[in-house]
Amino acid sequence: MNHYKWLKQVALVSLMVLLAITAGCSLWDGAEESKMIDPPPNDMMTSGELNEDQVYNDEEAIENVAMSLYFKDQYGYVVPVTMNIPYVEGIAKQKLRYMVEDGPISEKIPYDFTPVIPSGTEILGLNIENQLAIVDFSEDFLNYEMNDERKLLEAVTWALTDFPTVDQVIINVNGETLKKMPAQGIPLHEPLSREMGINIEKSEGVPLSQTSPVTLYFLNQTNDLQNYYVPVTRLIQSPNDIIKATLNELIKGPFEPSGLNSVMISSVEVINTDQSQDLITLNLSDHILGIDQMVSEESLHSIILSLTENTDATQFQFLINDESYNKPVTIPAHMNIFEM
């Protein structure tokens, strides 16, 4: 799941420039060994390079795949929404096509979400080589609202870096590489990556030069009361321990007013943590338990999603007051699943 994680060497200077310009329980039941929470994600193409000339020859080719499409929610956050889309050659190009306003699934997108890729945008080409994706959009790509400039870049970048064959993204329009975005002037001199963050927010009282990014998953709710996870990249005082820092920021909860909901109550304490290779062990106080003496599924998922973004871990084991709570588990294969 390396495509979900922050790269260790954060390009803080680039992030500063961007900011300056843009001003329960059932989850673990029956676990006898380390296991997946969900089946492996279909949008993770795990072998070879993905390019526009790739041919899918399997006679038993699947008709649909689950993809995380990035839309804007009612609060303006860029959010991954898992939907089933038809499998075709060049699935990464297809993924972006389904994120276009008035695109092929515009009538099936959940009511609370809207595309940020402008209407009429065509994906003229997409080539992936050596972990670099070069995507060529038609000129309609530039017909976005000014306040959506960064959201547009985040949606495209995070959608493509969901694939394990992509770490960085270069954006072309009509065959020409953009040097900066036209509305707010966000610079594009370097390839984009997940290092740019998503839904950026800054902790008060910390000089930008002394901050480090930590990506957190909080909860929001649709108008029909369906919960979904929202990634937020918070700039915090550069921590000595990214695991504890991630947990402590989750315990602090979302900034106000954000419209987001906490995943843990403020009285939860981090007793200690340990990472051994790809396994993180978390020892938390029993304040994380609900009235049923179980950790809620939302808390578990938020912790795992957040730590996967910020560390190189792939397995997670929980202790409650030094007592084992579960066998090691891995990241959920999909989040925010909506039926078409």
Select from 293, 280, 276, 294 the least CA-distant residue to 330: 280
How far apart CA 213 and CA 232 sit, in angstroms, is 10
Q: What residue has token string 């000014």?
A: 146
Reduced to 3 states (helix: H, G, I; strand: E, B; else coil), residue 13 is helix
pLDDT of the residue at 56? 35
Average pLDDT over residues 219-241: 93
Residue 137 has which token pair?
């959009």
d(CA 138, CA 42): 28
Q: What is the pLDDT of residue 205?
A: 78
Distances (CA, A) of 195 to 148, 179, 207, 208: 19, 18, 19, 15
Is 91:126 a contact under the CB 8 Å cutoff? Answer: no
Whether the predicted pLDDT of 31 surpasses 80: no
**Residue pair 332/308 in contact by the 8 Å Cβ criterion:** no
Q: How confident is the model at residue 332 (pLDDT cuts 50, 70, 90)?
A: confident
Query: Residue 154 is encoded by which pair of tokens?
Result: 């985040």
DSSP run (H or E) holding 12: helix 12-22
What pLDDT does residue 340 have? 57
Confidence of residue 107 (pLDDT cuts 50, 70, 90): confident
Cβ–Cβ under 8 Å, residues 206 and 235: yes
Instruction: Specify the 3-state DSSP secondary structure of 3.
Output: helix
Name the pLDDT band for 15 (thresholds 50, 70, 90). very low
5 pLDDT higher than 50:
no
pLDDT for the residue numbered 41: 38
Question: What is the enclosing helix (H) or strand (E) of 171?
Answer: strand 168-173
The pTM of the full predicted model, rounded to 2 decimals, is: 0.82
pLDDT for residue 34 is more than 80: no
The two structure tokens encoding residue 207: 């000089």
What is the amino acid identity at position 69? Answer: L
CA–CA distance from 45 to each of 37, 98, 124, 160 (Å)? 19, 18, 22, 11
Find the distance separating the first CA and the last CA of the chain, reported in whole Å: 26
- Evaluate if residue 47 carries a pLDDT over 90: no
- Give the position of tokens 């790269």: 7
Provide the edge-to-edge strand list for the sheet that holds 211-221. 201-202, 227-237, 211-221
Residue 17: pLDDT over 80: no
Model pLDDT, residue 64: 87
The packing angle between helices 242-252 and 297-310, to 10°, is 140
pLDDT in tens, 130-181: 999 999 999 999 999 999 999 999 999 999 999 999 999 999 999 999 999 9
DSSP annotation of 187 reads: B
> Is 25 a residue whose pLDDT tops 60?
no
Residue 68: partners with Cβ closer than 8 Å, 6 or more residues away: 43, 80, 81, 82, 159, 162, 334, 335, 336
Lowest mean pLDDT among 10-14, 152-156, 198-202, 265-269: 10-14
**213 vs 312: CA distance, rounded Å:** 15
Phi, psi of 211 (to 5 degrees): -100, 160
- Average pLDDT taken over every residue of the chain: 83
Given a contact cutoff of 8 angstroms between Cβ atoms, the answer to whether 51 and 129 are in contact is yes
The per-residue pLDDT for range 236-288, each reduced to its tens digit, is 999 999 999 999 999 999 998 888 999 999 999 999 999 999 999 999 999 99
Q: Which two tokens stand for residue 110?
A: 């959940």
Q: What percent of the chain has pLDDT over 90?
A: 67
pLDDT value at 66 more than 80: yes
pLDDT at position 183 is 95
